């Protein structure tokens, strides 16, 4: 049964956490120490570099060139609106650089702003790789729905059928874990765990270790009686998937999602590998309000695993976002319908925003955000427009005049705009330009 959460106790908590550097709604946490940090300062204003209409580039990337209905570009008037929206929201966010892309049946637009490297001044390029953080969760939930379609499991199975020792494990279903209604604590909330991350940022974490931390701190509430964004849910789901398939998670991502969709620039790196494929942007992170922004590019993300360990590009994200929204190449019609059914989402009272099976719903848009030290991503699809929007930013540092006191922000960033991290701010501006606003409810931000 779908549960509707109150305004104060439901999605307000979602978006509060979205603005917290301890529990980031669209990623796997923050508040981390960098290895080999450069100490480079992030300036609020950076040079702009726009590729404008890059439909030929993306047509090549996606294999769409010459397809019926795919033209050489969007309507020039719409391109102009998108450029203006991107430029304004980028300046307000104060990030070093950003990539924005929109794909509709009429064509594909991509534009870049700012720099990929503050030290060299190298401009941001559309084909650059970055860490996508919790945009990994839709990949994991896709595998879960595929396993359901194959009869390997049921979303109504309880977690204790696969993993013992989870409090209330005989009541918590895989569905409740996927939509964050399980009551299993978030391991990235554990202060002791964070102390270990800070003291040894090169450490390679095993998923079983992460799961045990969340399990030890559980339950937060009774199964199905509340909502809390918890990365532990997705670590456990990753372990379940490995158990029922007998295959490592990396192989599942590659065989069942990456290769079928031809996501040639998307990867799930080995836990010991903290590198990013070239070309890539340098990612910038702010540890505290008194510190200077640091270079977080090479920080080991093994503590993210099935909750946030993937790397991709804007071109691949356009492909994946469209597949998420349509099911094409990913899921049978039954599972796709289940994924997009609002009854599978935990929503606010007006049912215009919520969280479902590894997807966020925001006033007609389905997708997910990713916020990991140094990088910030938004990926959303709108069925009514058949439009996919991707935003990738090489900073997850917030800016604005009303940020919480305990949230580090750019010292020289704009103060006359609402507090937010960069990618959601840009996504909302592009959604507005497309005529389908994704405006936050009062006091709340888009995850």
User: Domains (ranges, CATH) in the chain?
Assistant: 11-115+127-433 (3.40.710.10)
- The pLDDT > 90 percentage for the chain reads 70
* Higher-confidence position of 189 and 356: 356
DSSP label of 343: G
Q: Report the distance separating Cα 14 and Cα 17, nearest Å.
A: 5
- Position 72 scores a pLDDT of 52
Q: What is the pLDDT of residues 200-228, one digit of tens each?
A: 778 899 999 999 999 999 999 999 999 99
Residues written for the chain: 447
Distances (CA, A) of 57 to 49, 107, 115, 227: 16, 11, 20, 41
Say whether pLDDT at 46 is over 70. Answer: no
Say whether pLDDT at 159 is over 60. Answer: yes
**At 11, is the secondary structure helix, strand, or coil?**
helix
Q: What is the pLDDT of residues 114-138, one digit of tens each?
A: 999 999 999 999 999 999 999 999 9
Q: If you average pLDDT over residues 144-158, what whole number do you get?
A: 98
**Residue 103 contacts residue 58 (beta carbons within 8 Å):** yes
pTM of the model: 0.86
Say whether pLDDT at 403 is over 60. Answer: yes
Say whether pLDDT at 279 is over 50. Answer: yes
- Position 404 scores a pLDDT of 86
- Position 178 scores a pLDDT of 98
Radius of gyration in angstroms for the set of CA atoms belonging to the chain, rounded to a whole number: 20
Tell me the average pLDDT of the chain.
84
Q: What is the pLDDT of residues 83-97, one digit of tens each?
A: 999 999 999 999 999
- Position 198 scores a pLDDT of 63
Q: If you average pLDDT over residues 237-247, what whole number do you get?
A: 98
Q: What is the pLDDT of residues 287-298, one digit of tens each?
A: 788 888 889 999
- Work out the angle at residue 266's Cα, subtended by the Cα atoms of residues 264 and 269, and round it to the nearest 5 degrees: 125
Q: Report the distance separating Cα 85 and Cα 153, nearest Å.
A: 44
Q: What is the pLDDT of residues 167-179, one digit of tens each?
A: 999 999 999 999 9
- Position 196 scores a pLDDT of 77
């Amino acid at each position: 049964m779908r549960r509707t959460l109150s305004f104060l106790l439901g999605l307000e908590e979602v978006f509060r956490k979205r603005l917290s550097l301890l529990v980031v709604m669209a990623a796997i946490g923050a508040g981390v120490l960098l290895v080999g940090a450069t100490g480079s300062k992030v300036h609020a204003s950076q040079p702009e570099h726009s590729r404008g209409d890059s439909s030929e580039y993306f047509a090549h990337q996606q294999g769409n060139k010459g397809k019926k209905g795919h033209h050489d570009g969007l309507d020039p008037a719409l391109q102009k609106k998108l450029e203006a929206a991107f430029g304004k929201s980028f300046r307000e966010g104060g990030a070093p650089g950003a990539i924005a892309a929109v794909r509709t049946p009429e064509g594909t637009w991509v534009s870049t702003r700012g720099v990929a490297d503050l030290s060299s001044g190298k401009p941001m390029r559309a084909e650059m790789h970055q860490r996508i953080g919790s945009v990994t969760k839709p990949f994991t939930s896709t595998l879960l729905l595929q396993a359901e379609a194959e009869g390997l499991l049921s979303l109504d199975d309880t977690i204790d059928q696969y993993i013992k020792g989870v409090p209330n494990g005989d009541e918590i279903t895989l569905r409740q874990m996927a939509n964050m209604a399980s009551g299993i604590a978030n391991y990235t909330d554990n202060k002791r765990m964070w102390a270990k991350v800070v003291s040894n940022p090169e450490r390679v974490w095993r998923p079983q270790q992460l799961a045990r931390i969340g399990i030890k701190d559980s339950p937060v509430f009774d199964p199905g009686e509340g909502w809390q964004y918890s990365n532990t849910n997705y670590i456990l789901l990753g372990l379940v998937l490995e158990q029922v398939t007998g295959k490592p998670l990396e192989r599942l991502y590659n065989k069942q999602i990456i290769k079928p969709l031809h996501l040639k620039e998307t990867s799930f790196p080995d836990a010991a590998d903290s590198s990013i494929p070239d070309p890539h942007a340098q990612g910038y992170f702010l540890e505290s309000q008194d510190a200077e922004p640091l270079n977080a590019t090479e920080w080991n993300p093994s503590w993210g695993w099935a909750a946030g360990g993937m790397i991709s590009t804007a071109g691949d994200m356009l492909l994946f976002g469209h597949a998420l929204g349509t099911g094409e190449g990913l899921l049978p019609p039954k599972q796709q319908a289940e994924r997009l059914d609002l009854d599978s989402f935990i929503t606010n009272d007006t049912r215009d925003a919520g969280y479902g099976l590894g997807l966020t719903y925001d006033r007609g848009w389905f997708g997910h955000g990713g916020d990991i030290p140094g990088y910030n991503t938004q990926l959303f699809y709108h069925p009514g427009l058949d439009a996919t929007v991707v935003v990738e930013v090489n900073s997850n540092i917030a800016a604005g005049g009303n940020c919480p006191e305990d949230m580090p922000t750019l010292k020289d960033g704009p103060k006359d705009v609402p507090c937010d991290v960069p990618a959601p701010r840009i996504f909302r501006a592009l959604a507005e330009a497309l005529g389908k606003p994704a405006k936050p409810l009062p006091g709340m931000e888009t995850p």
